[in-house]
Structure 1
Amino acid sequence: MSALRKVQFEHDERLPPPVSKISQEVARSEWLYNAAEELARGGGLVFKRHMHSQQGVTAYSKPPVPGINRRSLREANQ
């Protein structure tokens, strides 16, 4: 095998660098921060979990605090 073919073969067989847990945690915490900010602004989120259908949530889809329902939130905002 020529030197060029050997080097090309080694290059082709290399695996990509592993994804570190730290970068995954950074991405996760950034997504959570941005999602919480979007909900705080009154927006909504759409996401898809592995092997599940697409789901969404809005700022008013669930009571933010136990004991507070949507009606009391609407009355407070009027």
Structure 2
Amino acid sequence: MSVYQESEQQTIASLYRQHHSWLFRWLRSKVESTESAADISHDIFVTLLSREEQLLLEEPRAFLTTLAKRSVANH
């Protein structure tokens, strides 16, 4: 694993630790079940881990909300 990949994984891990609970609660208010909210939030972070480009966020909750809105629409 390259230094870039490790750094990116650390960035996403930090994003997860800081915002996952908030994202889950936000999703729970938008979808019909706790399980769906958990699945969608999981999918969002898995998608972020599979990204090729570097993740630079000034407004992480706005970014996560955008991803969540798209995921809810596709759900």
Give the TM-score normalised by structure 1: 0.31
Larger radius of gyration: 1
| Larger helix proportion of the pair | 2
Give the TM-score normalised by structure 2: 0.32
| Larger strand proportion of the pair | 1
